[in-house]
Structure 1
């Protein structure tokens, strides 16, 4: 069986169907050896200092209620200075000075605004983000705090677009019917793992009793009306787009009066239309019209940012400079192969728009919903559904935005692979020399070295099957397996050598069984300890433990028994000597 598994392992690692040249295509490389990318994210939470202009016992409560009503953000009183009357609040949401002042009205005057997240809240947010991108803590991803309100994420194996979808969402769920909010996160009691069938992915959602009642009331008599489902609808932003963009749209249109996009689609014999509840304004390649500019100036006290469809380079520099004077600018570039419709829907946070069935319209609404998620392929739809489910299940307390993204070189330098190959070659030659010096038999030394290679290949195949990244932790586990194998092979060989000696009273087979028993006991101990560490550990420690356990299990089941039998044959083999030819007749006669 060992030769079969060895060939399969080589095929898994090499994948010759993807290219003939030798390469480890079947194993993912972590940032330690391949480099990657770094994303910096900022949590939108602010500490604001206010000077109340109103008086009364409940002024603090009135201010908090005004902020929550006007901005849709939670406000919490931090401190109150009786000598000056000033109050400090923590506001969890996206805001600007004009927005905050408009929400407060005559209750208070804004004195100061600064980004601030409590340390405990920052660590909680990092834990939620990790649960989204690496729920089992098996990937070579790094998440750490940066400053008072930022998070740094580093990876090489997660697709950057998927990382943006998983990390860039607060997890705020909203369901609209006829452009009216019906349900949000508070009406959702749970989400199940997505499933896929017939090219569509589905996310099972459980509603609370109150959520079920609200949905039942909203669906009444509205068969075939869409339920528009948003994830992190940019309600604090204005979408700015080039007016030539819609020429490539199939079902997407723009209403200049409502300043919103809307989608029209055919459903059987009927045509359904729904508006996207996000403010949007068009600009031309020459710039922005006076009418649109005046409208944007009116919204300074209502919106915190502008979302550009595309990159800043796609718009006139004068426009970018003018917008940045009044708004924070974020961009949503178009992804490769993405249609205009999907691009705009993604920028607006639209995840799905299923139709209300006749049963639901007649009052047959239950607390169990199934949200369909579409994609170009079933696999893409499933990934989108998983991103949606994880973002909502691990909702953050604050909105989050990307502030920077850069590429990273390999942590150990660009020549690490060549250095590792040289080090491995030198180590093998040194091991070969030491083994020959110890046993004085070339065949014995070569067999031990060959099985070091076998252990390494089979363990690498196990790493590939488990989808573990090849990083410092997996390489450490691989070295542990290979070196443990070397040690055990030396012990087995030494035990078998005693069995081939002429004065030995027991057979070599007995020696082989005894040596394997010792090897199995040692391996079992390592396996049990590694499994315990894998269950209790986290991050790189868990990856190291899983790699070690997988390699040792493979060695016990495949490598050690075959090595013992092969070494027994090698040690029992003796060269056959040709007997001398009998004397010639002439020589006998003499």
Structure 2
């Protein structure tokens, strides 16, 4: 009889708890969270899924609008490359951090670095003057039926990226080259050429050793094996870049490079020579040889195109193309994709360079997940044990533990909805929010159990008093997190967001429900 009566009382108490609108809101939020996590799992950051983190250095501090442009352009490049699980985050005013999850292959990372490390400034020059810019491009054509693709040509492969330019740009280009045609013998082309660049060096001078200059004094105009040659001097003149051939420091050389951006072959000069150049130049950059001819890599030229009588007739052409050459099919496909992505995404408002690169292997990330889950379970057990010892009532200890676990589920569901990646800083924020939540529930419980000192106060009044303390503490914590959220310093933003979300979920959903539950338990 006693046990039956006790069960009846417990059932009645549970029924009273379920009647509370606060508890109902809490349960609805919990059920919706479970449903959300079933159809839209949490996005795990690089720490828990493996991947790479690339730091990009910007040439100068940027304004907020310029920084947003940088983030958007880099995001577009990576999306066009085929990467979807990534995060591009500003870090202060002069750095950007790119997190790419589930990508740790060294070759893949090198290709991504090459894509991120370019400003993407497209220019076409004729007689040393810019006649077409990246801003003039309306769209990039990637349809093989319209000329896009790579195909065998001679001993290698030719790749082509067609694009559309605005009518105004087409008219200006037509005006610049109108009548500029000296027919080549046995050819339909003109002697005159236009030069296409992506990230052409500005205010620059090439400094190269005499031997390298002799080797590249004349190079094929396709930079592989074309019988048509172009002189290095003419190439640089039409590129708007100066040249100095030297193997020792002279006053004449130092005067010639003064205040300019100096480009030298990587490994061609010793430290003494480079130090002397740095003393006079704006900066000195060593460029490695990546193709058959170093000069091509140094000035970032993509294509040299002979004009035709049709182009120089004065009629605007709105569908030009960039054509390049590669020794292998794989290299041609890589260059094709690289150029198309840069043209699609547009240029960055500032020059960039790759800083540091760090990689987390998938095996290590799996260990992070295992250790985090084990640490969470251990912490939950310890908290429940301490609460049981403190209150000596298993219902109260279980209520606090289950409420905290429910907060975690709701917080993860919100993170999944907004697409926020869970990484180690986010986990730290979750721990801070849940830990503060347990502290708040202890305050509510202590106020509810206090009888000796404040007998005249009702249970509801004491819980209201507890909530005033909780609201003040939560508000203080949220305001403390706002600087991290507003400034947006990289990974610290994840800590701030999860902490603030945890506080809001706890104060407006979980705490009111727990107060109702503990009220019924004590009554």
Q: Distance in 1 between matches of 2:509 and 2:424?
A: 26
Partner residue of 1:156? 100
Partner residue of 1:4? 28
CA deviation map 1:128-165 (0-9, x unaligned): 77862389x99575979xxxxxx996512599899779
Distance 1:277 1:252, change over 3 A: farther
State the superposition RMSD in angstroms.
5.6
Tell me if the contact between 1:35 and 1:410 (Cα under 8 Å) persists in the aligned partners.
yes
Cα drift, residue 507 of structure 1 = 1.9
Any idea what SS the aligned residue of 2:478 has? helix
Q: Distance in 1 between matches of 2:432 and 2:474?
A: 12
Cα drift, residue 568 of structure 1 = 0.6
Match of 2:478 among 527, 532, 539: 527
TM value normalised by structure 2: 0.52
Question: How many residue pairs align between the two structures?
Answer: 346
Tell me if the contact between 1:9 and 1:461 (Cα under 8 Å) persists in the aligned partners.
yes
Structure 1 residue 132 corresponds to structure 2 residue 92: no
Tell me if the contact between 2:221 and 2:228 (Cα under 8 Å) persists in the aligned partners.
no
CA deviation map 1:89-133 (0-9, x unaligned): xxxxxxxxxxxxxxxxxxxxxxxxxxxxxxxx7454999778623
Tell me if the contact between 2:91 and 2:488 (Cα under 8 Å) persists in the aligned partners.
no
Structure 1 residue 432 corresponds to structure 2 residue 384: yes
Distance 1:134 1:350, change over 3 A: closer
Structure 1 residue 37 corresponds to structure 2 residue 37: no
Q: Distance in 2 between matches of 1:553 and 1:4?
A: 16
Distance 1:516 1:492, change over 3 A: same
Distance 1:412 1:13, change over 3 A: same
Q: Distance in 1 between matches of 2:443 and 2:90?
A: 40
Any idea what SS the aligned residue of 2:292 has? helix
> What 5-or-longer segments of structure 1 have no aligned partner?
16-24, 44-120, 145-150, 189-226, 232-245, 266-273, 280-287, 305-319, 334-339, 352-383, 573-590
Q: Distance in 2 between matches of 1:132 and 1:429?
A: 46
Partner residue of 1:463? 415
Determine which structure has the larger helix proportion and give its number.
Answer: 2
Tell me if the contact between 2:88 and 2:97 (Cα under 8 Å) persists in the aligned partners.
no
Partner residue of 1:396? 350
Match of 1:252 among 147, 152, 160: 147
For residues 68-83 of structure 1, the aligned pairs below 5 Å read none
Moved more, 443-452 or 530-539: 530-539
Partner residue of 1:560? 511
Distance 1:513 1:168, change over 3 A: same
Q: Distance in 1 between matches of 2:114 and 2:100?
A: 16
Q: Distance in 1 between matches of 2:472 and 2:223?
A: 81
TM value normalised by structure 1: 0.46
Q: Distance in 1 between matches of 2:225 and 2:195?
A: 21
Tell me if the contact between 2:48 and 2:423 (Cα under 8 Å) persists in the aligned partners.
yes
For residues 140-539 of structure 1, the aligned pairs below 5 Å read 154-157=98-101, 167-172=116-121, 182=131, 184=133, 228-229=137-138, 249-252=144-147, 261=160, 278=196, 293-295=225-227, 298=230, 302=235, 323=292, 328=297, 344=336, 347=339, 351=343, 387-388=345-346, 392=347, 394-397=348-351, 408-409=360-361, 414-498=366-450, 504-536=455-487, 538-539=489-490
Tell me if the contact between 1:125 and 1:397 (Cα under 8 Å) persists in the aligned partners.
no
CA deviation map 1:23-61 (0-9, x unaligned): xx63222222222125588x9xxxxxxxxxxxxxxxxxx
Distance 1:531 1:158, change over 3 A: farther
Tell me if the contact between 2:30 and 2:410 (Cα under 8 Å) persists in the aligned partners.
yes
Q: Distance in 2 between matches of 1:262 and 1:534?
A: 42
Structure 1 residue 13 corresponds to structure 2 residue 49: no
Any idea what SS the aligned residue of 2:52 has? strand
Distance 1:454 1:229, change over 3 A: same
Distance 1:8 1:134, change over 3 A: farther
Cα drift, residue 176 of structure 1 = 10
Any idea what SS the aligned residue of 2:32 has? helix
Cα drift, residue 442 of structure 1 = 0.5
Distance 1:545 1:431, change over 3 A: same
Distance 1:168 1:452, change over 3 A: same
Q: Distance in 1 between matches of 2:364 and 2:337?
A: 41
Tell me if the contact between 1:463 and 1:469 (Cα under 8 Å) persists in the aligned partners.
yes
Tell me if the contact between 1:34 and 1:410 (Cα under 8 Å) persists in the aligned partners.
yes
Distance 1:38 1:546, change over 3 A: closer
Any idea what SS the aligned residue of 1:28 has? coil
Cα drift, residue 276 of structure 1 = 10
Match of 2:43 among 16, 20, 28: 28
Q: Distance in 2 between matches of 1:290 and 1:541?
A: 49
